[in-house]
Amino acid sequence: MLRIEGLTAEIDGKEILKGIDLEVPTGEVHAIMGPNGSGKSTLSYVLSGREGYEVTAGTATLNGVDILAMEPEERAAAGLFLAFQYPVELPGVGNATFLRTALNAVRKGRGESELDAMQFLKLARQRMTALSMPEDMLKRGVNVGFSGGEKKRNEILQMALLQPSMAILDETDSGLDIDALKIVSDGVNAMRGPNFSALVITHYQRLLDYIVPDRVHVLMAGRIVKSGGPELAKELEAQGYASVQAAA
């Protein structure tokens, strides 16, 4: 399970996260919702270990292991997956090579053997069939000329290959159209099970029609001000964040 306690973090000396307490038990999918600028992306960056984000207090553990002390690639080997982890375009690097390198790095960290090109292709084809993805996506450069929907598909393929125990998906700024929403939600829903949890970060309720969360948390000004069941997302949709602010 992911357990965050009293997490405080700043960027450029400006405190953004002001004491986050959050638990996502194994097997559950939780959503974090909140208005623009509330710190949603900051939370996911801090958990991923992005440079420039300084943790000033608190802890975050995955299955009892301190993740904040780890390098980003160690976090991936520990079972954490960040959907925006590799958003870059890499002309000249084939997508298959890229995905295999990412998978083998994680496998190595887990003490598993590396997959050769043939073994990888077999596995990738299985996953791609399950996700209704065209195989030619493996042959192209990483994200080069990919549409928004294709980039999403590629991220979901990465997730399906890496088989993380905890996925964090920050969808706020990606302007997902309905097809991309379905790609993301089908991918997450296919992973759901007793050994997988996810934190789905979103500004809009819409995504949560497709990924029905076990719990919803509202983040405002760097703090979680309210938690509830999936109905909380509907309430927010109807009444807006101001209603929570007034009550908090």
Please give the Cα distance from 29 to 133 (Å, whole number): 24
CB of 213 to ligand ADP, least distance (A): 17
Residues 164-203 that bind ligand ADP (CB under 6 A): 172
CB of 183 to ligand ADP, least distance (A): 21
Please give the Cα distance from 17 to 25 (Å, whole number): 22
221 touches ligand ADP by CB under 6 A? no
Residues 21-40 that bind Mg ion (CB under 5 A): 36, 40
Please give the Cα distance from 84 to 247 (Å, whole number): 33
CB of 136 to Mg ion, least distance (A): 32
Among 6, 23, 36, 116, binds ligand ADP (CB under 6 A): 36
Beta bridge partners of 18: 8
According to DSSP, the β-strands at 223-228 and 215-220 are antiparallel
b or e along 120-140 (b: 16 or more beta carbons within 10 Å of the residue's beta carbon)? beebbeebbeebebeeebbee
Among 4, 20, 38, 99, binds ligand ADP (CB under 6 A): 38
Cβ closer to ligand ADP: 29 or 220? 220
- Given the rule CB under 6 A, which residues bind ligand ADP? 11-12, 14, 16, 34, 36-42, 172
